[in-house]
Structure 1
Amino acid sequence: MRVLAEFIMRGRMQAGLVVVGCAALPLLFWLSAAAGSLVLLRRGLGDAFGIVALALLPGAVWWYFGEPRTLLLLLGTLGLAQLLRSSVSWRLVLMSSVLVGLAYALVLEEVFRAPIEAMAGELRQLMPQLLQSATPLSADEQTRLGALLVPVLTGMLAALLQIVSLLALVLGRYWQSLLYNPGGFAREFRALRLPGPWALALLAGMLLAPSMGIRMAMLAPLCSVPLVFAGIALIHGLVAQGRLGRFWLVGLYVTLLLFMQLTYPLLMVLAIVDSLIDFRGRQTPKGGSGAANGEG
Protein backbone atom coordinates (compact mmCIF):
# COMPACT_ATOMS: atom_id res chain seq x y z
CA MET A 1 0.00 0.00 0.00
CA ARG A 2 2.84 2.40 0.76
CA VAL A 3 4.32 1.78 -2.68
CA LEU A 4 1.01 2.67 -4.32
CA ALA A 5 0.64 5.81 -2.19
CA GLU A 6 4.17 6.94 -3.09
CA PHE A 7 3.43 6.33 -6.77
CA ILE A 8 0.24 8.41 -6.56
CA MET A 9 2.03 11.34 -4.94
CA ARG A 10 5.01 11.20 -7.32
CA GLY A 11 3.35 13.52 -9.82
CA ARG A 12 0.13 14.57 -11.52
CA MET A 13 0.54 12.02 -14.30
CA GLN A 14 0.94 9.12 -11.87
CA ALA A 15 -1.97 10.31 -9.73
CA GLY A 16 -4.19 10.74 -12.77
CA LEU A 17 -3.27 7.27 -14.05
CA VAL A 18 -4.36 5.61 -10.79
CA VAL A 19 -7.45 7.72 -10.24
CA VAL A 20 -8.79 7.46 -13.80
CA GLY A 21 -7.67 3.86 -14.37
CA CYS A 22 -9.29 2.53 -11.21
CA ALA A 23 -12.50 4.49 -11.86
CA ALA A 24 -12.71 2.96 -15.33
CA LEU A 25 -12.26 -0.63 -14.11
CA PRO A 26 -15.14 -2.55 -12.56
CA LEU A 27 -15.01 -3.06 -8.77
CA LEU A 28 -11.98 -0.75 -8.33
CA PHE A 29 -13.82 2.57 -8.11
CA TRP A 30 -13.28 2.55 -4.33
CA LEU A 31 -9.52 2.64 -4.94
CA SER A 32 -9.98 5.60 -7.28
CA ALA A 33 -11.90 7.41 -4.53
CA ALA A 34 -9.15 6.64 -2.01
CA ALA A 35 -6.43 7.88 -4.38
CA GLY A 36 -8.37 11.04 -5.17
CA SER A 37 -8.86 11.63 -1.44
CA LEU A 38 -5.14 11.33 -0.84
CA VAL A 39 -4.34 13.94 -3.47
CA LEU A 40 -7.06 16.29 -2.24
CA LEU A 41 -6.12 15.91 1.43
CA ARG A 42 -2.46 16.63 0.76
CA ARG A 43 -2.57 19.25 -1.99
CA GLY A 44 -5.96 20.88 -1.52
CA LEU A 45 -8.80 21.24 -3.99
CA GLY A 46 -7.06 23.93 -6.01
CA ASP A 47 -4.05 21.80 -6.90
CA ALA A 48 -6.04 18.56 -7.10
CA PHE A 49 -8.93 19.90 -9.19
CA GLY A 50 -7.55 18.67 -12.52
CA ILE A 51 -6.96 15.17 -11.23
CA VAL A 52 -10.34 15.09 -9.49
CA ALA A 53 -12.09 16.24 -12.67
CA LEU A 54 -10.41 13.45 -14.64
CA ALA A 55 -11.67 10.91 -12.11
CA LEU A 56 -15.25 11.99 -12.72
CA LEU A 57 -15.15 11.25 -16.46
CA PRO A 58 -15.16 7.43 -16.18
CA GLY A 59 -17.84 7.75 -13.50
CA ALA A 60 -20.03 9.75 -15.86
CA VAL A 61 -19.55 7.09 -18.56
CA TRP A 62 -20.56 4.34 -16.11
CA TRP A 63 -23.68 6.35 -15.17
CA TYR A 64 -24.57 6.69 -18.87
CA PHE A 65 -24.64 2.89 -19.07
CA GLY A 66 -26.87 2.61 -15.99
CA GLU A 67 -24.29 2.31 -13.19
CA PRO A 68 -24.28 5.51 -11.08
CA ARG A 69 -22.39 4.17 -8.07
CA THR A 70 -18.90 4.94 -9.40
CA LEU A 71 -19.63 8.64 -9.86
CA LEU A 72 -21.67 8.83 -6.65
CA LEU A 73 -18.87 7.29 -4.62
CA LEU A 74 -16.25 9.60 -6.12
CA LEU A 75 -18.30 12.73 -5.50
CA GLY A 76 -19.31 11.71 -1.99
CA THR A 77 -15.85 10.63 -0.90
CA LEU A 78 -14.14 13.69 -2.32
CA GLY A 79 -16.71 15.94 -0.66
CA LEU A 80 -16.04 14.28 2.70
CA ALA A 81 -12.29 14.53 2.06
CA GLN A 82 -12.58 18.28 1.52
CA LEU A 83 -14.57 18.57 4.75
CA LEU A 84 -11.93 16.58 6.62
CA ARG A 85 -9.14 18.75 5.21
CA SER A 86 -10.87 21.98 6.23
CA SER A 87 -12.19 20.87 9.63
CA VAL A 88 -9.78 18.08 10.69
CA SER A 89 -12.82 16.57 12.45
CA TRP A 90 -13.86 12.98 11.91
CA ARG A 91 -16.99 13.68 13.96
CA LEU A 92 -18.18 16.21 11.37
CA VAL A 93 -17.25 13.81 8.59
CA LEU A 94 -19.30 10.99 10.10
CA MET A 95 -22.34 13.19 10.67
CA SER A 96 -22.05 14.67 7.17
CA SER A 97 -21.88 11.16 5.73
CA VAL A 98 -25.56 10.80 6.62
CA LEU A 99 -26.38 13.63 4.20
CA VAL A 100 -24.11 12.05 1.60
CA GLY A 101 -25.88 8.73 2.13
CA LEU A 102 -29.25 10.43 1.74
CA ALA A 103 -28.12 11.84 -1.61
CA TYR A 104 -27.03 8.34 -2.59
CA ALA A 105 -30.45 6.97 -1.59
CA LEU A 106 -32.37 9.52 -3.64
CA VAL A 107 -30.35 8.70 -6.75
CA LEU A 108 -30.46 4.93 -6.25
CA GLU A 109 -34.21 5.15 -5.65
CA GLU A 110 -34.67 6.50 -9.17
CA VAL A 111 -32.05 4.48 -11.03
CA PHE A 112 -32.67 1.10 -9.39
CA ARG A 113 -36.40 1.47 -8.73
CA ALA A 114 -37.37 -1.67 -10.66
CA PRO A 115 -34.93 -4.15 -9.05
CA ILE A 116 -35.57 -2.70 -5.58
CA GLU A 117 -39.33 -3.04 -6.01
CA ALA A 118 -38.87 -6.60 -7.30
CA MET A 119 -36.79 -7.48 -4.24
CA ALA A 120 -39.40 -5.90 -2.00
CA GLY A 121 -42.11 -7.92 -3.73
CA GLU A 122 -40.28 -11.16 -3.02
CA LEU A 123 -39.89 -10.18 0.64
CA ARG A 124 -43.60 -9.37 0.87
CA GLN A 125 -44.39 -12.90 -0.27
CA LEU A 126 -42.10 -14.28 2.43
CA MET A 127 -43.48 -12.05 5.17
CA PRO A 128 -46.18 -14.47 6.38
CA GLN A 129 -43.54 -17.18 6.89
CA LEU A 130 -41.08 -14.78 8.54
CA LEU A 131 -43.71 -13.49 10.96
CA GLN A 132 -45.11 -16.87 11.99
CA SER A 133 -42.96 -17.11 15.12
CA ALA A 134 -43.40 -13.42 15.99
CA THR A 135 -46.35 -11.59 17.48
CA PRO A 136 -49.23 -11.65 14.97
CA LEU A 137 -49.68 -8.35 13.14
CA SER A 138 -52.94 -6.82 12.05
CA ALA A 139 -53.70 -6.36 8.37
CA ASP A 140 -52.95 -2.62 8.58
CA GLU A 141 -49.64 -3.28 10.31
CA GLN A 142 -48.65 -5.83 7.67
CA THR A 143 -49.58 -3.36 4.92
CA ARG A 144 -47.48 -0.62 6.50
CA LEU A 145 -44.57 -3.00 7.01
CA GLY A 146 -44.76 -4.00 3.37
CA ALA A 147 -44.80 -0.35 2.30
CA LEU A 148 -41.63 0.30 4.31
CA LEU A 149 -39.66 -2.39 2.47
CA VAL A 150 -38.79 -0.27 -0.59
CA PRO A 151 -37.39 2.75 1.31
CA VAL A 152 -35.59 0.53 3.82
CA LEU A 153 -33.96 -1.53 1.07
CA THR A 154 -33.00 1.69 -0.71
CA GLY A 155 -31.52 3.02 2.50
CA MET A 156 -29.55 -0.18 3.04
CA LEU A 157 -28.04 0.04 -0.46
CA ALA A 158 -27.18 3.69 0.13
CA ALA A 159 -25.74 2.88 3.57
CA LEU A 160 -23.47 0.29 1.98
CA LEU A 161 -22.20 2.94 -0.44
CA GLN A 162 -21.87 5.35 2.48
CA ILE A 163 -19.68 2.81 4.30
CA VAL A 164 -17.50 2.33 1.22
CA SER A 165 -17.10 6.12 0.92
CA LEU A 166 -15.93 6.36 4.52
CA LEU A 167 -13.59 3.39 4.09
CA ALA A 168 -12.09 4.97 0.95
CA LEU A 169 -11.56 8.21 2.89
CA VAL A 170 -10.00 6.25 5.77
CA LEU A 171 -7.60 4.63 3.32
CA GLY A 172 -6.70 7.98 1.77
CA ARG A 173 -6.10 9.51 5.21
CA TYR A 174 -4.05 6.49 6.26
CA TRP A 175 -1.87 6.87 3.16
CA GLN A 176 -1.38 10.57 3.92
CA SER A 177 -0.35 9.78 7.47
CA LEU A 178 1.92 6.96 6.32
CA LEU A 179 3.82 9.24 3.95
CA TYR A 180 3.92 12.52 5.84
CA ASN A 181 3.08 11.97 9.52
CA PRO A 182 3.44 8.33 10.67
CA GLY A 183 1.01 7.52 13.45
CA GLY A 184 -1.09 10.63 12.91
CA PHE A 185 -4.12 8.81 11.54
CA ALA A 186 -4.00 6.26 14.36
CA ARG A 187 -4.19 9.06 16.93
CA GLU A 188 -7.04 10.72 15.05
CA PHE A 189 -9.11 7.58 14.76
CA ARG A 190 -8.53 6.34 18.29
CA ALA A 191 -9.69 9.68 19.68
CA LEU A 192 -12.90 9.65 17.63
CA ARG A 193 -15.95 9.98 19.87
CA LEU A 194 -19.39 11.36 19.07
CA PRO A 195 -20.83 13.93 21.51
CA GLY A 196 -23.86 12.71 23.44
CA PRO A 197 -26.45 14.91 21.66
CA TRP A 198 -25.11 13.84 18.26
CA ALA A 199 -25.28 10.14 19.12
CA LEU A 200 -28.79 10.52 20.53
CA ALA A 201 -29.84 12.41 17.39
CA LEU A 202 -28.62 9.51 15.27
CA LEU A 203 -30.49 7.06 17.51
CA ALA A 204 -33.64 9.16 17.17
CA GLY A 205 -33.21 9.16 13.41
CA MET A 206 -33.03 5.37 13.38
CA LEU A 207 -36.06 4.88 15.61
CA LEU A 208 -38.33 7.75 14.60
CA ALA A 209 -37.65 8.25 10.88
CA PRO A 210 -40.08 5.48 9.76
CA SER A 211 -42.90 7.11 11.76
CA MET A 212 -42.29 10.46 10.05
CA GLY A 213 -43.20 9.12 6.63
CA ILE A 214 -42.66 6.04 4.51
CA ARG A 215 -39.84 7.56 2.45
CA MET A 216 -38.11 8.80 5.60
CA ALA A 217 -37.53 5.16 6.57
CA MET A 218 -34.47 5.18 4.32
CA LEU A 219 -32.78 7.36 6.96
CA ALA A 220 -32.67 4.56 9.53
CA PRO A 221 -29.80 2.58 7.94
CA LEU A 222 -27.92 5.79 7.10
CA CYS A 223 -27.97 7.01 10.73
CA SER A 224 -26.48 3.73 11.92
CA VAL A 225 -23.23 4.10 9.96
CA PRO A 226 -21.59 6.90 12.04
CA LEU A 227 -22.38 4.99 15.23
CA VAL A 228 -20.70 1.85 13.93
CA PHE A 229 -17.54 3.73 12.95
CA ALA A 230 -17.51 5.43 16.35
CA GLY A 231 -17.87 2.00 18.00
CA ILE A 232 -14.91 0.65 16.04
CA ALA A 233 -12.86 3.72 17.03
CA LEU A 234 -13.75 3.04 20.66
CA ILE A 235 -12.35 -0.49 20.52
CA HIS A 236 -9.16 0.76 18.85
CA GLY A 237 -8.80 3.46 21.48
CA LEU A 238 -9.23 1.05 24.40
CA VAL A 239 -6.67 -1.33 22.88
CA ALA A 240 -4.19 1.53 22.40
CA GLN A 241 -4.63 2.51 26.07
CA GLY A 242 -3.96 -1.07 27.15
CA ARG A 243 -7.42 -1.55 28.62
CA LEU A 244 -8.15 -4.29 26.10
CA GLY A 245 -5.84 -6.87 24.56
CA ARG A 246 -4.96 -6.73 20.88
CA PHE A 247 -6.88 -9.95 20.29
CA TRP A 248 -10.04 -7.86 20.71
CA LEU A 249 -9.28 -6.16 17.39
CA VAL A 250 -8.94 -9.51 15.65
CA GLY A 251 -12.14 -10.70 17.24
CA LEU A 252 -13.91 -7.48 16.29
CA TYR A 253 -13.21 -7.75 12.58
CA VAL A 254 -13.73 -11.51 12.41
CA THR A 255 -17.12 -11.29 14.10
CA LEU A 256 -18.02 -8.22 12.04
CA LEU A 257 -17.49 -10.28 8.89
CA LEU A 258 -19.06 -13.52 10.09
CA PHE A 259 -21.79 -12.29 12.45
CA MET A 260 -22.55 -8.79 11.22
CA GLN A 261 -26.19 -9.01 12.30
CA LEU A 262 -24.99 -9.26 15.91
CA THR A 263 -21.79 -7.20 15.90
CA TYR A 264 -23.21 -4.24 13.95
CA PRO A 265 -25.90 -3.30 16.52
CA LEU A 266 -23.49 -4.02 19.38
CA LEU A 267 -21.05 -1.44 18.00
CA MET A 268 -23.88 1.09 17.78
CA VAL A 269 -24.81 0.51 21.41
CA LEU A 270 -21.17 0.86 22.50
CA ALA A 271 -20.84 4.14 20.58
CA ILE A 272 -23.99 5.57 22.19
CA VAL A 273 -22.91 4.57 25.70
CA ASP A 274 -19.39 5.91 25.07
CA SER A 275 -20.81 9.25 23.94
CA LEU A 276 -22.47 9.56 27.35
CA ILE A 277 -19.79 8.00 29.60
CA ASP A 278 -16.51 8.39 27.67
CA PHE A 279 -14.75 5.08 28.35
CA ARG A 280 -11.39 6.37 27.15
CA GLY A 281 -11.40 9.39 29.44
CA ARG A 282 -10.12 12.84 28.57
CA GLN A 283 -6.50 11.87 27.95
CA THR A 284 -4.35 13.87 25.56
CA PRO A 285 -2.10 11.76 23.31
CA LYS A 286 1.57 12.22 24.09
CA GLY A 287 3.93 13.48 21.41
CA GLY A 288 3.30 14.34 17.80
CA SER A 289 0.52 16.15 16.05
CA GLY A 290 -2.99 14.84 16.35
CA ALA A 291 -3.63 15.51 12.70
CA ALA A 292 -2.61 13.07 10.00
CA ASN A 293 -1.86 15.63 7.31
CA GLY A 294 1.70 16.21 8.50
CA GLU A 295 1.27 19.95 8.09
CA GLY A 296 1.06 20.88 11.77
Structure 2
Amino acid sequence: MRAIAEFSMRSRVRAVLLTMVGIPLISPAVLALVGLRRGSSDGLFVLVWAVLPVVAAAGAGYMSPLMSGLAITHFVGVLAGALVLRATRAWSWALIALVVATSLGILLTSQISGGILTSLLEAASEATAGADTEQLRQVFNSETQATGYLSWVSVITATLALVLGRWWQAMLYNPGGLQQEIHNLRMPLPVAAVGMVLWIFCLVSEHFVFWGAVVAFPMLVAGIGLIHWMVARKGWGRGPLIALYVMLVIAALPLAGFLCGLALIDSWIDIRARTGNKA
Protein backbone atom coordinates (compact mmCIF):
# COMPACT_ATOMS: atom_id res chain seq x y z
CA MET A 1 0.00 0.00 0.00
CA ARG A 2 2.80 2.43 0.84
CA ALA A 3 4.43 1.74 -2.51
CA ILE A 4 1.21 2.73 -4.31
CA ALA A 5 0.99 5.99 -2.37
CA GLU A 6 4.63 6.85 -3.00
CA PHE A 7 4.31 6.01 -6.70
CA SER A 8 1.25 8.24 -7.14
CA MET A 9 2.90 11.17 -5.36
CA ARG A 10 5.97 11.29 -7.61
CA SER A 11 4.11 12.97 -10.48
CA ARG A 12 0.68 13.83 -11.78
CA VAL A 13 1.17 11.44 -14.69
CA ARG A 14 1.64 8.49 -12.35
CA ALA A 15 -1.41 9.48 -10.33
CA VAL A 16 -3.43 9.74 -13.56
CA LEU A 17 -2.32 6.28 -14.64
CA LEU A 18 -3.42 4.74 -11.36
CA THR A 19 -6.83 6.40 -11.50
CA MET A 20 -7.46 5.64 -15.16
CA VAL A 21 -7.01 1.88 -14.71
CA GLY A 22 -10.11 1.88 -12.49
CA ILE A 23 -8.97 -0.41 -9.67
CA PRO A 24 -11.83 -0.55 -7.12
CA LEU A 25 -11.06 1.46 -3.98
CA ILE A 26 -7.42 2.02 -5.01
CA SER A 27 -8.04 4.39 -7.95
CA PRO A 28 -10.43 6.74 -6.10
CA ALA A 29 -8.13 6.62 -3.06
CA VAL A 30 -5.26 7.85 -5.25
CA LEU A 31 -7.49 10.73 -6.38
CA ALA A 32 -8.25 11.49 -2.71
CA LEU A 33 -4.54 11.49 -1.87
CA VAL A 34 -3.77 13.92 -4.69
CA GLY A 35 -6.57 16.23 -3.60
CA LEU A 36 -5.52 16.08 0.05
CA ARG A 37 -1.83 16.65 -0.59
CA ARG A 38 -1.75 18.91 -3.64
CA GLY A 39 -5.10 20.67 -3.64
CA SER A 40 -7.82 21.42 -6.15
CA SER A 41 -5.62 22.16 -9.18
CA ASP A 42 -3.93 18.77 -9.30
CA GLY A 43 -7.05 17.05 -7.97
CA LEU A 44 -9.24 18.35 -10.79
CA PHE A 45 -6.54 17.54 -13.33
CA VAL A 46 -6.43 13.91 -12.21
CA LEU A 47 -10.23 13.77 -11.99
CA VAL A 48 -10.65 14.84 -15.61
CA TRP A 49 -8.27 12.16 -16.82
CA ALA A 50 -9.82 9.56 -14.51
CA VAL A 51 -13.31 10.06 -15.97
CA LEU A 52 -12.09 10.38 -19.57
CA PRO A 53 -12.15 6.59 -20.24
CA VAL A 54 -15.61 6.39 -18.67
CA VAL A 55 -16.95 9.19 -20.87
CA ALA A 56 -15.33 7.65 -23.95
CA ALA A 57 -16.77 4.20 -23.19
CA ALA A 58 -20.23 5.67 -22.61
CA GLY A 59 -20.04 7.69 -25.81
CA ALA A 60 -19.05 4.61 -27.80
CA GLY A 61 -21.88 2.59 -26.30
CA TYR A 62 -19.65 0.19 -24.36
CA MET A 63 -20.89 1.45 -20.98
CA SER A 64 -24.47 2.22 -20.00
CA PRO A 65 -25.44 5.71 -18.79
CA LEU A 66 -26.15 4.19 -15.36
CA MET A 67 -22.71 2.61 -14.94
CA SER A 68 -20.86 5.64 -16.32
CA GLY A 69 -22.86 7.95 -14.06
CA LEU A 70 -22.08 5.82 -11.01
CA ALA A 71 -18.36 5.79 -11.84
CA ILE A 72 -18.17 9.56 -12.35
CA THR A 73 -20.24 10.20 -9.22
CA HIS A 74 -17.87 8.04 -7.20
CA PHE A 75 -14.79 9.99 -8.28
CA VAL A 76 -16.46 13.38 -7.83
CA GLY A 77 -17.75 12.48 -4.35
CA VAL A 78 -14.31 11.31 -3.21
CA LEU A 79 -12.58 14.45 -4.51
CA ALA A 80 -15.22 16.73 -2.97
CA GLY A 81 -14.66 15.11 0.42
CA ALA A 82 -10.87 15.30 0.05
CA LEU A 83 -10.83 18.99 -0.89
CA VAL A 84 -13.17 19.95 1.96
CA LEU A 85 -11.08 17.90 4.39
CA ARG A 86 -7.94 19.66 3.15
CA ALA A 87 -9.55 23.09 3.53
CA THR A 88 -11.31 22.61 6.87
CA ARG A 89 -9.28 19.81 8.49
CA ALA A 90 -12.66 18.60 9.79
CA TRP A 91 -14.03 15.17 8.95
CA SER A 92 -17.53 16.33 9.84
CA TRP A 93 -17.67 18.81 6.93
CA ALA A 94 -15.78 16.44 4.63
CA LEU A 95 -18.41 13.75 5.19
CA ILE A 96 -21.23 16.22 4.61
CA ALA A 97 -19.62 17.39 1.35
CA LEU A 98 -19.09 13.80 0.23
CA VAL A 99 -22.70 12.85 0.99
CA VAL A 100 -24.10 15.90 -0.80
CA ALA A 101 -21.89 15.50 -3.89
CA THR A 102 -22.57 11.77 -4.15
CA SER A 103 -26.32 12.10 -3.67
CA LEU A 104 -26.59 14.84 -6.28
CA GLY A 105 -24.54 12.69 -8.67
CA ILE A 106 -26.90 9.74 -8.22
CA LEU A 107 -29.96 11.93 -8.76
CA LEU A 108 -28.40 13.40 -11.90
CA THR A 109 -27.54 9.90 -13.10
CA SER A 110 -31.16 8.90 -12.58
CA GLN A 111 -32.28 11.74 -14.84
CA ILE A 112 -29.70 11.03 -17.56
CA SER A 113 -30.24 7.26 -17.58
CA GLY A 114 -34.01 7.54 -17.76
CA GLY A 115 -34.49 6.24 -14.24
CA ILE A 116 -32.23 4.04 -12.11
CA LEU A 117 -34.95 1.49 -11.36
CA THR A 118 -35.76 1.15 -15.06
CA SER A 119 -32.07 0.74 -15.89
CA LEU A 120 -31.60 -1.90 -13.19
CA LEU A 121 -34.65 -3.85 -14.39
CA GLU A 122 -33.44 -3.75 -18.00
CA ALA A 123 -29.94 -4.89 -16.99
CA ALA A 124 -31.33 -7.73 -14.87
CA SER A 125 -33.65 -8.81 -17.67
CA GLU A 126 -30.80 -8.92 -20.19
CA ALA A 127 -28.41 -10.73 -17.85
CA THR A 128 -30.80 -13.40 -16.60
CA ALA A 129 -33.42 -13.53 -19.35
CA GLY A 130 -35.95 -11.94 -17.01
CA ALA A 131 -35.49 -14.45 -14.17
CA ASP A 132 -34.44 -11.87 -11.55
CA THR A 133 -36.64 -9.00 -12.70
CA GLU A 134 -39.54 -9.84 -10.41
CA GLN A 135 -37.23 -10.22 -7.40
CA LEU A 136 -35.73 -6.82 -8.16
CA ARG A 137 -39.20 -5.29 -8.32
CA GLN A 138 -39.94 -6.71 -4.89
CA VAL A 139 -36.79 -5.15 -3.44
CA PHE A 140 -37.19 -1.75 -5.14
CA ASN A 141 -40.80 -0.75 -5.72
CA SER A 142 -40.08 2.92 -6.52
CA GLU A 143 -37.46 5.12 -8.17
CA THR A 144 -36.95 6.95 -4.86
CA GLN A 145 -36.06 3.69 -3.17
CA ALA A 146 -33.60 2.71 -5.92
CA THR A 147 -31.82 6.08 -5.98
CA GLY A 148 -31.64 6.05 -2.18
CA TYR A 149 -30.07 2.61 -2.14
CA LEU A 150 -27.44 3.46 -4.76
CA SER A 151 -26.68 6.74 -2.96
CA TRP A 152 -26.19 4.83 0.29
CA VAL A 153 -23.83 2.31 -1.32
CA SER A 154 -21.95 5.06 -3.16
CA VAL A 155 -21.51 7.11 0.02
CA ILE A 156 -20.07 4.11 1.86
CA THR A 157 -17.60 3.20 -0.90
CA ALA A 158 -16.57 6.83 -1.45
CA THR A 159 -15.93 7.24 2.29
CA LEU A 160 -13.77 4.11 2.36
CA ALA A 161 -11.72 5.51 -0.54
CA LEU A 162 -11.34 8.86 1.23
CA VAL A 163 -10.25 7.15 4.45
CA LEU A 164 -7.69 5.10 2.52
CA GLY A 165 -6.36 8.21 0.80
CA ARG A 166 -6.09 10.05 4.12
CA TRP A 167 -4.38 7.03 5.67
CA TRP A 168 -1.82 7.09 2.87
CA GLN A 169 -1.24 10.80 3.45
CA ALA A 170 -0.80 10.27 7.18
CA MET A 171 1.55 7.34 6.59
CA LEU A 172 3.76 9.36 4.25
CA TYR A 173 3.68 12.80 5.86
CA ASN A 174 1.89 12.77 9.24
CA PRO A 175 2.06 9.46 11.12
CA GLY A 176 -0.83 9.06 13.53
CA GLY A 177 -2.74 11.99 12.07
CA LEU A 178 -5.69 9.97 10.81
CA GLN A 179 -6.26 8.26 14.15
CA GLN A 180 -6.33 11.60 15.96
CA GLU A 181 -8.80 13.02 13.45
CA ILE A 182 -11.16 10.04 13.75
CA HIS A 183 -10.98 10.14 17.54
CA ASN A 184 -11.93 13.85 17.51
CA LEU A 185 -14.69 13.52 14.91
CA ARG A 186 -17.75 15.34 16.23
CA MET A 187 -20.71 16.65 14.27
CA PRO A 188 -21.96 20.24 14.73
CA LEU A 189 -25.10 20.15 16.90
CA PRO A 190 -27.50 21.74 14.35
CA VAL A 191 -26.36 19.27 11.67
CA ALA A 192 -26.68 16.31 14.05
CA ALA A 193 -30.14 17.38 15.23
CA VAL A 194 -31.49 17.90 11.71
CA GLY A 195 -29.90 14.64 10.58
CA MET A 196 -31.55 12.69 13.37
CA VAL A 197 -34.98 14.22 12.70
CA LEU A 198 -34.74 13.49 8.97
CA TRP A 199 -33.56 9.95 9.59
CA ILE A 200 -36.48 9.20 11.93
CA PHE A 201 -38.87 10.72 9.40
CA CYS A 202 -37.43 8.58 6.60
CA LEU A 203 -37.66 5.40 8.66
CA VAL A 204 -41.46 5.51 8.66
CA SER A 205 -41.61 5.48 4.84
CA GLU A 206 -40.33 2.50 2.89
CA HIS A 207 -39.67 4.72 -0.11
CA PHE A 208 -37.27 6.97 1.83
CA VAL A 209 -35.64 4.45 4.17
CA PHE A 210 -32.37 4.36 2.23
CA TRP A 211 -32.31 8.15 1.95
CA GLY A 212 -32.60 8.20 5.72
CA ALA A 213 -29.48 6.05 5.92
CA VAL A 214 -27.70 8.49 3.59
CA VAL A 215 -28.66 11.49 5.74
CA ALA A 216 -27.62 9.71 8.94
CA PHE A 217 -24.32 8.43 7.54
CA PRO A 218 -22.09 11.29 8.84
CA MET A 219 -23.58 10.80 12.31
CA LEU A 220 -23.00 7.07 12.08
CA VAL A 221 -19.33 7.67 11.30
CA ALA A 222 -19.11 10.19 14.14
CA GLY A 223 -20.52 7.57 16.51
CA ILE A 224 -17.98 5.03 15.29
CA GLY A 225 -15.21 7.60 15.80
CA LEU A 226 -16.35 8.16 19.38
CA ILE A 227 -16.27 4.41 20.05
CA HIS A 228 -12.73 4.26 18.60
CA TRP A 229 -11.68 7.08 20.97
CA MET A 230 -13.29 5.38 23.96
CA VAL A 231 -11.65 2.03 23.22
CA ALA A 232 -8.23 3.69 22.80
CA ARG A 233 -8.68 5.69 26.02
CA LYS A 234 -9.60 2.58 28.00
CA GLY A 235 -6.86 0.49 26.36
CA TRP A 236 -9.25 -2.29 25.43
CA GLY A 237 -7.41 -3.37 22.29
CA ARG A 238 -8.98 -4.29 18.97
CA GLY A 239 -11.51 -6.82 20.24
CA PRO A 240 -14.36 -4.35 20.89
CA LEU A 241 -13.80 -2.67 17.51
CA ILE A 242 -13.96 -6.01 15.69
CA ALA A 243 -17.18 -6.80 17.55
CA LEU A 244 -18.55 -3.38 16.60
CA TYR A 245 -18.04 -3.91 12.88
CA VAL A 246 -19.38 -7.47 13.02
CA MET A 247 -22.51 -6.20 14.75
CA LEU A 248 -22.90 -3.48 12.10
CA VAL A 249 -23.30 -6.31 9.59
CA ILE A 250 -25.52 -8.54 11.75
CA ALA A 251 -27.76 -5.90 13.38
CA ALA A 252 -27.19 -2.78 11.31
CA LEU A 253 -30.36 -0.81 12.09
CA PRO A 254 -30.44 -1.08 15.91
CA LEU A 255 -26.70 -0.43 16.22
CA ALA A 256 -26.87 2.44 13.72
CA GLY A 257 -29.62 3.99 15.86
CA PHE A 258 -27.44 3.67 18.95
CA LEU A 259 -24.37 5.15 17.23
CA CYS A 260 -26.34 8.06 15.76
CA GLY A 261 -27.90 8.75 19.15
CA LEU A 262 -24.44 8.65 20.73
CA ALA A 263 -23.17 11.09 18.10
CA LEU A 264 -26.09 13.44 18.81
CA ILE A 265 -25.38 13.37 22.56
CA ASP A 266 -21.69 14.02 21.87
CA SER A 267 -22.57 16.99 19.65
CA TRP A 268 -24.64 18.38 22.50
CA ILE A 269 -22.40 17.87 25.54
CA ASP A 270 -18.93 17.06 24.05
CA ILE A 271 -18.17 13.82 25.86
CA ARG A 272 -14.39 14.06 25.32
CA ALA A 273 -14.13 17.52 26.82
CA ARG A 274 -16.22 16.53 29.82
CA THR A 275 -13.90 13.63 30.59
CA GLY A 276 -10.87 15.91 30.28
CA ASN A 277 -9.26 13.54 27.77
CA LYS A 278 -9.78 15.24 24.42
CA ALA A 279 -7.28 13.77 21.93
Instruction: Give the TM-score taking structure 2 as reference length.
Output: 0.80
Q: CA offset at residue 214 of structure 1?
A: 10
Judged with a 3 Å threshold, the aligned counterparts in structure 2 of structure 1 residues 191 and 168 are, in CA distance, closer, same or farther, namely same
> Structure 2: how far apart are the matches of 1:12 and 1:120?
42
1:249 to 241, 250, 255: 241
User: Could you say which structure has the greater relative contact order, defined with CA pairs below 8 angstroms and 6 or more residues apart?
Assistant: 1
Unaligned segments of structure 2, at least 5 residues: 122-132
Pick closer, same or farther for the CA change 1:242–1:69 going to 2, 3 Å.
same
Give the fraction of aligned pairs with identical amino acids, expressed as a percent: 32
- Cα 1:269–1:48 change in 2 (3 A) is closer
Shift of 1:216: 6.9
The 8 Å contact of residues 191 and 233 in structure 1, kept in 2 or not, is answered as yes
Change (3 A) 1:218 1:103: farther
Gaps of 5+ in 1: 125-145, 286-296
Q: Decide whether the 8 Å contact of 1:94 with 1:226 is kept in 2.
A: yes
* Letter paired with 2:238: R
Q: Aligned-residue CA RMSD in angstroms? A: 2.7
Deviations 1:247-272 (A, max 9, x none): 11111122223443443333223222
Contact 2:148–2:208 (8 Å) recurs in 1: no
Report the counterpart of residue 92 of structure 1 in structure 2.
Answer: 93
Q: 1:88 Cα shift?
A: 1.2
Residues 152 and 250 (structure 1), Cα distance of their counterparts in 2 relative to 1, 3 Å cut:
same
SS in 1 for 2:25: helix
Q: Is the 8 A contact 1:34 1:172 kept in 2?
A: yes
Alignment of 1:151-190 (within 5 A): 151-190=144-183
Q: Aligned partners of 2:147, 2:213: CA distance in 1, in Å? A: 9
Q: Which residue of 2 aligns with 1:267?
A: 259
Using the TM superposition, give the Cα deviation of residue 234 of structure 1 relative to its aligned residue in structure 2, in angstroms. Answer: 0.9
The one-letter amino acid of 1:9's match is M
Letter in 2 for 1:17: L
* Distance of 1:50 and 1:228 partners within structure 2: 32
> TM-score normalized by structure 1?
0.76
Say whether residues 1:122 and 2:115 are aligned partners.
no
User: How many equivalent pairs are there?
Assistant: 256
- Which protein has the larger Cα radius of gyration, Structure 1 or Structure 2? 1
Deviation at 1:35, TM superposition (A): 0.2
